[in-house]
Amino acid sequence: MTEKNLKRIEKVIRDLKNKIRHHNYRYYVLNQPEISDEEYDKLYKKLEKLELDFPQFKTKTSPTQRVGAKAKEGFRQVKHEVPMLSLSNTYSFEEVKKWQKRVTKTISGPKKYTVELKMDGVSASLVYEKGDFVLGLSRGNGETGDDITGNLKTVHSIPLVLKKSGKASLPNRIIVRGEIYIDIEDFKKLNAQKKKTAKQLFINPRNATAGSLKLLNPKIASRRNLRCFIHTLGKAQGIDFETQWQFLQTIKEYGLPVNPYTKKCHSIDEVIEFCRKWQEARENLPYEIDGIVIKINSFKEQKKLGVTLKSPRWAIAYKFPAQQATTKLEDVKFQVGRTGTITPVAILKPVKCGGVTISRATLHNFDEIRRLDVRIKDRVVIERAGDVIPKIVKPVKSVRTGKEKRINIPRKCPVCGGKIEKEREGEVAYKCINPSCSAQIKRRLEYFASKNAMDIEGLGESVIKQLVDEKLVRNIADIYSLEKSDLLKLDLFAKKKADNLLKAIEASKDRPMARLIYALGIRHVGEKAAFVLSNKYQNIDDLMSAKKENLEKIHEVGPIMAQSSVNFFHQNEAREIIVKLKKAGLSMKIIQKRGSEPLKGMKIVFTGELKSFTRAQSKNMALELGADISSSVSSQTDLVVMGDKPGSKYEKAKKLNIKIIGEEQFKKLLKSREKK
């Protein structure tokens, strides 16, 4: 091959590398991909083939070299050029203010701070020479770390080559520190895979990240989808930075990932407000954070403040209340749900976790108890994240005394004493098969009266308990026979409260058929399916007599849902309830889709609290116009409607670049579509 052709091929390879690096940065750092996965794969395979045919042009920093060979032995130990110190922790805003007062004794004048989300991950040090990533170290003991370069190369948000962009010239050499982490969704997927192979699960995302970075085989680490945020300067040659904020803005131009929520603050009050905000909003993030890192912004002032043996004086971490804690499992109680499913609930020695006192936690099912090998009187690790019910992560087996008791499946229903059976072969749930079980009746009534179902305000758990215990209500239809004199017999009721509940019960009679179908609690039939069924079968009698094969033909109704519907309406009790509901005067009207269906095909997700109408009303309005309502955000979602206090759906939509609108825009959308 001629020298001219070789130069042409070298240029093609160089251009391919630059293109792939650019698209890696867009995808893994900015979350703003410009090309499809298929187009990316074509570029990658083309580069791979050219490097195979012309190995003289393959470099260590090529995108194809992210996954290297398996280490033959343990990791090489390397001394840090600049020690990786740990931060001092504070647990209250008073302690933050005390730190600020200590700082002002050494450096006078107005202070500026940078505040950064404290990732709950694993620290790493990255070394770049002339823009190339040459070394990656774990923190180790702060003085010496493991050479984990091979595993860090598998983290796609870490560039193998820094970008030359804008005014920022590349330093000859730079050492930066960052946090390696794994997204919550990726962590769940990883544990789900481990569960299938009966392997021990990771306790939390940080545990999964640490385990991944210790793997001797980078090929396995590459499948973990690790990510990174850079937060600290270790050392730089050939460039000077005056402030932490300048450093962070500059390295973003290099293509290094920086957390987008980092902020520059001009007072300690502004710092504390930032801490408060993220303590409340942390559950909206796709990754876990455990606090806020507060740094003096000026590097000159940082140098003046200096460091102790363990930590810098110019930075401090404000730690959120712990999301995990250890306590004693005192006992296990068994709850019975509306379908009869028996759920084991752990009774715990009260312990603070996530800012609240926890005394109960879910054990899910008896298979989970066996998998965990958890026992009564065990010391256990519990976890609480956001509004999720606390759960037991694992028992601390090393402190067992031999007095711990195994948790056995009950022989009869803990509430009614009736017979229990395993639901079906291959399933994990055990059920009470007595349809008159008072626990099931209570749960069914709660479900029936809930906001997305019949929305009966005032018919809550405590009222339902008294109604069932006093035998005033034996099934969901009985609530429509209640009289004021019945309610006044109960401890909870005076005249006004009784009148209000009776009005709410009367108002529920006008709910559409879709809401009623959902309220009946038919297994596998959610809000959307209830709407589809109500539009297909114009009255409840037609639905009750529908055959499985006809139900299966309906779009979005599969064989499992069809069989579940048939099974439900074949029960004598269900048919008797429908007869009673008709006699009570329930209208069971149909929510008709508009003829034009202007929102047809649009997949819409609602998140947060809407002011003008309830969640159920907003969904019904969108359904009338042909929209497809979903409870979760995915790449298939077309639109997210956001109210006050949006949850994680909002963050996921932003990450996936899905269109997000507020309540006023949603109202305008409905009006504009209705006119068409």
Both 304 and 156 in a single domain? Answer: yes
Burial string for 55-67 (b: 16+ CB within 10 Å, else e) reads: eebeeebbbbebb
| Predicted pLDDT of residue 596 | 53
- Whether 124 and 252 share a structural domain: yes
Catalytic annotation on 495?
Answer: no
154 and 285 assigned to the same domain: yes
pLDDT for residue 356:
77
- Selection from 12-16, 24-28, 629-633 with the highest mean pLDDT: 12-16
Confidence class for position 591, pLDDT limits 50, 70, 90: low
Q: What is the predicted pLDDT for the residue at 236? A: 93
Q: Do 221 and 275 share a domain, yes or no?
A: yes
Q: Could you give phi then psi for residue 172, rounded to 5 degrees?
A: -60, -40
For the chain, the average pLDDT equals 86
Q: How many distinct structural domains can be found in the chain?
A: 6
Residue 98 in domain: yes
Q: Provide the pLDDT for residue 99.
A: 93
Q: Say what angle helices 205-213 and 184-196 make with each other, to 10 degrees.
A: 70
Residues 418-445: pLDDT tens digits?
Answer: 899 886 666 678 889 887 899 999 999 9
For residues 98 and 156, membership in a common domain is answered with: yes
Confidence class for position 243, pLDDT limits 50, 70, 90: very high
**Same-domain pairing of 276 and 128:** yes
pLDDT score, position 226: 92
Contact criterion met (CB below 8 Å) for 376 and 393: no
Residue 548 is assigned to a structural domain of this protein = yes
State how far the alpha carbon of 392 is from the alpha carbons of 135, 384, 416, 568, in Å: 39, 9, 27, 34
Q: Which of 11, 42, 72, 118 is flagged as catalytic?
A: 118
CA distance 276 to 263: 14
Concatenated DSSP letters for 557-602?
--HHHHHHHHHHHTSHHHHHHHHHHHHHT------PPPSS-TTTT-
Contact present, 176 and 130 (Cβ < 8 Å): no
Inform me whether the pLDDT recorded for 22 exceeds 70: yes
Distance CA 306, CA 591 (A): 69
pLDDT score for 175: 96
**Residue 330: is it exposed, middle or buried by C-beta count within 10 angstroms (0-12/13-18/19+)?**
middle
Residue 110 has pLDDT above 80, yes or no: no
Domain assignment present for residue 431? The answer is no
Other beta carbons less than 10 A from residue 178's beta carbon: 28
- In this structure, of 237-241, 255-259, 410-414, 433-437, the range with the lowest mean pLDDT score is 433-437
Residue at 502 is within a domain:
yes
Classify residue 594: in a domain, yes or no.
no
Query: How many percent of the chain have pLDDT more than 90?
Result: 43
Residue with the two structure tokens 């005033």: 472
Do residues 522 and 476 make contact, with C-beta atoms less than 8 angstroms apart?
Answer: no
Claim to verify: residue 100 and residue 57 sit in the same structural domain: no
Examine the domain organization and report whether 130 and 168 are in the same domain: yes
List 174's β-bridge partners, or say none: 128, 236
Answer with the one of 422, 446, 471 that is the final residue of a domain: 422
Residue 671 pLDDT greater than 50, yes or no: yes
Distance in angstroms (rounded) separating the CA atoms of residues 118 and 192 = 27
What pLDDT digit, counting tens, does each position of 193-223 carry? Answer: 887 775 677 877 888 888 888 877 777 878 8
CATH number at residue 484: 1.10.150.20
The pLDDT, as a whole number, for residue 443 is: 94
Same domain, 242 and 281: yes
Domain containing 29 equals 3-65
Q: Are residues 334 and 392 in the same domain?
A: yes
Does an H or E element contain 641, and which? strand 639-642
Q: Could you tell me the two tokens for 263?
A: 């902020």
> How far apart, in whole angstroms, are the C-alpha atoms of residue 475 and residue 467?
10
589 is a domain residue = no
At 72, the pLDDT band (50, 70, 90 cuts) reads very low
Q: Are residues 180 and 311 in the same domain?
A: yes
Among 393, 422, 451, which residue terminates a domain?
422
The rounded percent of the chain whose pLDDT value lies above 70 is 92
> Over 90: is that where the pLDDT of 674 sits?
no
Are 311 and 366 in a shared domain? no
